[in-house]
Amino acid sequence: MKSQLISLNNIGLILIGTTLLSFFPIQSAQSFSVTIGEPDIPTSAQSGTFMIDFDDGNSTVTNSGITYTYSGDYQILDADTNGGANNTGKYITNGPGSNASYTISIDADQKYFGFWWSAVDPENIIEFYDNNNLVFSFNSDNLLAFIPPNSNVTAINNAPYDTDFFYGNLGNNTGEAYLFMNFYAQGTEVYDRIDIYQTDNTGLVQSDNHTFSTTQYTATGYEVPVPFAFSPALGLLLSGGGWLGIGYFQRKKAVDQ
């Protein structure tokens, strides 16, 4: 009888944990694949995309029946050393100050987002949402750790590159990175909103040539490692698991007595 009671408690603990995990799935870093394109190329390598270059200054753009709306704290500036693909036209940046952010809202699910990222600062944040649920977050710290100066990276097709090629804007501001980013939603993952912001007041998120697509592409370029991200619910489950474990061992002790 003792062994039967212990077995039932153990099964109950497993069932509770399994049930909680089914209600609170873990956010995996693999929901998106992140790559950077070839050095000094400010546009996407993918075909069939739609690109916004900000040269007309419009906050709402419609293409092929899909509307893209920019809102929040942002500025559209003339190209300079810090931003603007090929140093021409205009580019977008969040407003100055800590946590100044803007949002891109799209009225159709998307599978791909790319953009020219200029003078990349630490703690630039790009967040992807689906129906107001955060599905992926990227911090520029991960990017800068991947391409430190005087190092090398290898592309998905095994082509090697010196990371110094990603630094500088046509020979200027060589201490900061300039490159084209690609974000590929994997599997059934999609997004319909992007939030872009800076977590401190020491820099801005300068970008250009925002590129969108509903197509599922095969990732190309240099894959940026992305840390595994836990769902907050997992922390609740793990902390709760300690109490469940205590309850189980207390029950086991009582049975043994």
Contacts 24+ apart (CB under 8 A), 44-49: 44/114, 44/180, 44/182, 44/209, 44/211, 45/182, 45/220, 45/221, 46/112, 46/114, 46/182, 46/211, 46/213, 46/215, 46/217, 46/220, 48/213, 48/215, 49/112, 49/114, 49/211, 49/212, 49/213, 49/215
**C-alpha angle 45/50/55, rounded to 5°?**
100
DSSP states of 85-101 as a string? GGG-SEEEEEPSSTT-E
Q: Which amino acid is located at 88 in the chain?
A: T
pLDDT in tens, the chain (257 residues): 444 443 434 444 444 444 444 444 444 446 999 999 999 999 999 999 999 999 999 999 999 999 999 999 999 999 999 999 999 999 999 988 777 899 999 999 999 999 999 999 999 999 999 999 999 999 999 999 999 999 999 888 888 889 999 999 988 899 999 999 999 999 999 999 999 999 877 789 999 999 999 999 999 999 999 875 544 444 444 444 443 333 433 434 444 44
Tell me what pLDDT residue 203 has: 81
